[in-house]
Amino acid sequence: MKNPFSILGKSMFNANGDVDANSMGYKYVISTLSYIRSKIIGQKFFEVDIASYVPVDVGEAAFSDEIVQNTEFYTGGSFFEGDVDQGGSRISQVDASMVANKMPVRNWRKKVGWTLFEIQQAAVASRWDPVEAKMRSLKKNWDLGIQELAFLGRPGDTVMTGLLNNAVVTINTTRITKKISAMSAAEFATFVGGLLADYYSNSNSTVLPDTFVMPTADYLGLGVPVSSTYPNISMKEYLENMLKRMTDNENFKILPVAYASAANSRSDFTKDRYVLYRRDPETLSLSIPVDYTMAEPRTVDSMDWLQLAYGQYSGVLVNRPREMLYYALTT
């Protein structure tokens, strides 16, 4: 039996198997000395607050099939083209134009079902409520799917992409030559010194970032001292303090996420990925036109029951790609 819940299709069980798939169900053999605990332990998954990474719009454009974001651009040449010489008759002109940035919307629905026999037998055998469990299963399927969407987009879709795999965002392949946590003091200093300069150049010297996303495994290694000379400050503290001070933003965040690891990327990228960007709704946003909604449970014979859920989702729309910069691990 295939594990119904996974991250990127990977089972959440360990290599030896936490659960024997053949033993699933509430019908099992016990003896007169068996004691069945009333508490039932639920399954755990990798879960994060996606709104901490990407601004999320919920309920806007409900039941549309496309979201269009208009972006305004100004033209007009140099300011000094407006200089007027005595007797001159030519007047330089400025103009404005608009470009439409589009993102499709997908409709989603799934269901669960149960029978009257299933409910009654489960209650007698194990005091387990299968209907409640199936409802949780359905909602968890939506939650984990939207989470994956936020970071990696829709599988196989080059338009409906996520935070980590947008094709129009520039990729720097020279700055991070090894995992940050594995850098020597000198390598770390070089990395820190060039990080914001890379971004500022990429943004045409217009803005500075406020968020740095990195693979969780590398993030967890930043708790070590930045060097033997400064044993009381960790690499994370040093990097975070620099980013806050140089951007003059005390709210600057370094955020870890497992999806940034190449092993969890669905093969969308082959090297671990880091992202420096502005967490601003005008820069990027994830749209959920219709949030998870449950229809009324239905039955035609009072014996077999069906529960449907539906929603709508879209990808991460990047309106200002120059305000994002990817870094690919080169080793």
pLDDT tens-digit map of 242-283: 999 999 999 999 999 999 999 999 988 999 999 999 999 999
CA distances (Å), origin 205, targets 97, 166, 305: 22, 22, 60
pLDDT band at 1 (very low <50, low <70, confident <90, very high): very low
> Cα–Cα distance between 62 and 293 in angstroms, integer?
12
Q: According to the model, what pLDDT value does residue 102 have?
A: 86
Average pLDDT for residues 41-56, to the nearest whole number?
85
- Tens digit of each residue's pLDDT (9 = 90 or more) over 12-38: 455 445 555 555 555 555 555 555 555
pLDDT at position 7:
47
pLDDT (0 to 100) of residue 3: 46
Q: What is the pLDDT of residue 4?
A: 43
* Dihedrals phi, psi of 313, to nearest 5 degrees: -145, 160
List the domain boundaries for the chain: 1-67+103-331, 68-100
The yes-or-no verdict on residue 237 having pLDDT over 60 is yes
Per-residue pLDDT of 55-73, as tens digits, reads: 999 999 899 999 888 777 6
Q: Can you say whether residue 107 is alpha, beta or left, with left for phi > 0 and alpha for psi between -120 and 50 degrees?
A: beta
Angle between helices 185-202 and 235-247 in degrees, nearest 10: 30
- The answer to whether the predicted template modeling score (pTM) of the entire model surpasses 0.75 is yes
When the pLDDT of each residue in the chain is averaged and rounded to a whole number, the result is: 86
Closest CA to 61 of 286, 295, 319, 296: 286
**pLDDT higher than 80, residue 145:** yes
d(CA 58, CA 77): 40
Tens of pLDDT along 220-230?
A: 999 999 988 88
